[in-house]
Structure 1
Amino acid sequence: MRPAPGIDPLVRARHLRRNRLHTLLLGAGAVLLLTLTAWTLAGPDGVLWAALGGALSVLVAARFSSALVLHLYGAREMTAAAFPDAHTIVRLLAQRAGLPRMPRLYLVPSRLVNAFSTGTREDSAICLTEGLLVRLTPREFVGVMAHELAHVAHGDIHVMAMADMVARMTGIMSLFGLALVLVNLPEALAGGAGVPWGTVLLLVVAPTLGTMVQLALSRTREFDADVGAASLTGDPDGLASALMKLERIHGRMWEAALPQGARIPDPSVLRSHPETGERVRRLRELRAVPEDWLPVEAMPHVAGRSPVPDTGAPRRRLSRFGTWY
């Protein structure tokens, strides 16, 4: 992916090197933690079974159909006739990203302000909520679409699926190992054997460490997608503006659900996305000379009104992912 003229190439290269190094270290750390847990549980045989289980999980994840994800969220495909500007934007961004095929666009009937991508470089989809379409300006919309295209181009969907698999396997093996320790503990104490506190400690902390590594990897991939989005559009300020707006909207939603004066503790190590302020700072470091490649300001947009034709009132429903509207 070549950077657009509006991006400082030296700053971009520095960000990419840092993000790739973090990805490599975090990925290696997750695999090492799983290996230690498997070795503690069953020695070399445990490592072998973990490797076989991981390989099988990767094959399943690679064949995991994005259609199931779209169905779970109740997404409906947006045709070019329904929202031509969005299709024009995504088609141009997909060409710039070197994708063999433009991602399909789907609408999720929700007032939440969100977007996500799924699938592979050859067959991908981008889902947008009605709340996102209502709130963003055309310039901000381009930045968000470029961010999702960057996730697809970088293969982040598979990277995070593999990280989730490693974290889950670590948790399962830790739970199974602790169960074995508890079952054999009375016999060990009766025989005068000491308690293997080192093993117990590893099995206790391994699931938490695995989750923290997974979240850190997610944050790194978000940083990388931000750089990729800025490289595609040449306008890091567009994405930065969208991120700040999403932060304000989500903050108001959480505060409205809490008693007056209450605040949600939000440690950075427990976030799946980086802090917005840091993302905006890094994006602004990339600024060079803006490139006028798409006349987004000329696109019609009325604040508070979705550009997609009305499909009726959204329905409240429960799913395994929580309550949607």
Structure 2
Amino acid sequence: MSTRFASDRGLTSRMVVTMFLLGLLYVVFVGALIALGVRALSVLLIAGVMLLAQYFLSDRIALFAMGGREVSPQEAPELHGLIDRLCAMADMPKPRVAVADSDVPNAFATGRNQKKAVVCVTTGILRRLEPEELEGVLAHELSHVAHRDVAVMTIASFLGIVAGLMTRFALYSGLGSRRDGNQGGLPIGLIVMLASILVYAVSFLLTRALSRYRELAADRAGALLTQQPSALASALTKVSGEMARIPTRDLREAEPFNAFYFAPALKQGHTLAGLFSTHPPLQRRLENLAKISAQLGRG
């Protein structure tokens, strides 16, 4: 389903390369398991069920986990009005609209496709942002919906799930068996466990890189749709700064959902290393938005 959200060929090509590397890693990993004679069918089946559940129920799971509640146009007329306007501009169907009662200023979108999508904002972000800033955030989230980023990231995470399960499988079932049936070789379970850990680590880094690319792409698409990159930059700066005022306990509760959020729920100066982050550094996002402003010839 096409929309008017702009694409970024450079970022798109990087995402394609990352997905290709993840797929190649998966093929090599499964091939190695087969060569070792490991019966991984049960692990693959379990991982497949988890993938399907996450794919088809992502909207319900995310809303439940984050305490989101769907709201009607009568309950949140301004919020619905902004989303109606953006959806008309983007030529896309309107997603469900939800609000989460949390002081953490953030927003997220989820759902496997545009028909099953939901956009959720927290009460914290509604209190803090001006209408044009909130519009920029919502355009960013609608870009995730239009580009099916939830489906992409769910599929991308599959290999990490398989590798993690294989590590546990090796720990609990195969550490004692020897390669080639003799006492001179390494235990097959140990080989599988080490390979699984390595595959998990590589897939983790690739998935994090893919997540950062999609955030940059959503920034760009949202800014071009509204033609107001400075509003999105202002929202990013304000949300990131407000995180310093949120109690640490509340931020820790929100951290497991950082991959969904518009901005990571972390205090400034306490972010993880760039390789492990689900989001690009704030400065990089602001620089990219500044470039878009220069291209558009406005602030």
Instruction: Give TM class, smaller chain.
Output: 0.7 to 0.9
Which structure 1 segments of 5+ residues have no match?
4-11, 292-325
Query: Does the 8 Å contact 2:209/2:278 carry over to 1?
Result: yes
Change in 2 beyond 3 A, CA 1:178/1:33: farther
Query: Counterparts of 1:180-191 in structure 2 under 5 Å?
Result: 182-185=175-178, 191=183
1:285 pairs with one of 278, 291, 299: 291
2:108 is paired with a residue whose SS is strand
Please, what TM-score do these two structures have when normalized by structure 1? 0.73
SS at match of 2:73: coil
The residue number in structure 2 matching 1:69 is 62
1:150 aligns with 2:146: no
Q: Give deviations 1:108-151, integer Å, cap 9, x for gaps.
A: 11111111112221232111111111111111101001011101
Paired position in structure 1 for 2:169: 176
Q: Which residue of 1 aligns with 2:278?
A: 272
More helix by share: 2
Closer/same/farther in 2, CA of residues 80 and 195 from structure 1, 3 Å limit: closer
Aligned counterparts of 1:124 and 1:192: Cα–Cα separation in 2: 55
Question: Superposition pairs for residues 233-248 of structure 1, below 5 Å?
Answer: 233-248=226-241
| Inter-partner Cα distance in structure 1 for 2:186 and 2:104 | 54
8 Å contact from structure 1 (residues 106, 125) kept in 2? yes
Work out which structure has the larger RCO, using CA pairs closer than 8 Å and 6 or more positions apart in sequence. 1
1:296-315 pair list within 5 angstroms: none
Asked whether the equivalents of residues 189 and 195 of structure 1 are also in contact (C-alpha less than 8 Å), the reply is no
Partner of 2:122: 129
Cα deviation code 1:22-75 (max 9, x no counterpart): 111111122222222222222398799588777766554443262343233332
Q: Name the count of aligned residue pairs.
A: 276
The C-alpha deviation readout for 1:230-258, integer Å capped at 9, x for no partner, is 12101111111111111112244377999
SS state of the match for residue 246, structure 2?
A: helix
CA 1:167–1:200 in structure 2 vs 1: closer, same or farther (change >3 Å)? closer
TM-score (norm 2): 0.79
Q: Residue 209 of structure 1 aligns with which residue?
A: 202
Distance (Å, rounded) in 2 between the aligned partners of 1:190 and 1:54: 32
8 Å CA contact 2:163, 2:196 repeated in 1:
no
The structure that has the greater radius of gyration is 1
State the secondary structure of the residue aligned to 2:241. Answer: helix
Whether 1:166 and 2:159 are equivalent positions in the alignment is yes
1:20 equivalenced with 2:19 (yes/no)? no
Task: Look up the SS of the partner of 2:202 in the other structure.
Answer: helix
Q: What is the CA–CA distance in structure 1 between the aligned matches of 2:30 and 2:286, rounded to whole Å?
A: 40
Match for 2:34: what amino acid? A
Per the alignment, residue 301 of structure 1 pairs with: none
Secondary structure, aligned partner of 1:286 = helix
Query: Is 1:114–2:106 an aligned residue pair?
Result: yes
Name which of structure 1's ranges 242-251 and 218-227 shifts more when overlaid on structure 2.
Answer: 242-251
* Other structure's SS at 1:182 match: coil
| Percent identity of equivalent pairs | 28
Show the counterpart of 2:264: none
Judge conservation of contact 2:83–2:138 (CA < 8 Å) in 1.
yes
- SS of the counterpart of 1:122? helix
Task: Tell me what 1:31 maps to.
Answer: 23
Closer/same/farther in 2, CA of residues 200 and 174 from structure 1, 3 Å limit: closer
- Paired amino acid for 2:157: D
In 1, Cα distance between equivalents of 2:138 and 2:220: 13
Deviation at residue 2 of structure 1 after TM alignment: 4.0
1:71-90 map, 5 Å: 71-90=64-83
Mapped to 2, the partners of 1:89 and 1:243 lie a distance apart of 18
Please give the alpha-carbon distance, in whole angstroms, between the structure 2 residues aligned to 1:57 and 1:102: 28
CA distance in 2, matches of 1:207, 1:90: 38
Aligned to 2:218: 225
CA RMSD in angstroms, aligned pairs only:
3.4
Unaligned runs of 5+ in 2: 252-267
Asked whether the equivalents of residues 33 and 40 of structure 2 are also in contact (C-alpha less than 8 Å), the reply is no
Taking the aligned partners of 1:191 and 1:46, their CA distance within structure 2 comes to 18
| Contact kept in structure 2, 1:105 and 1:126, CA below 8 Å | yes
Please tell me the residue identity of whatever aligns with 1:111. D
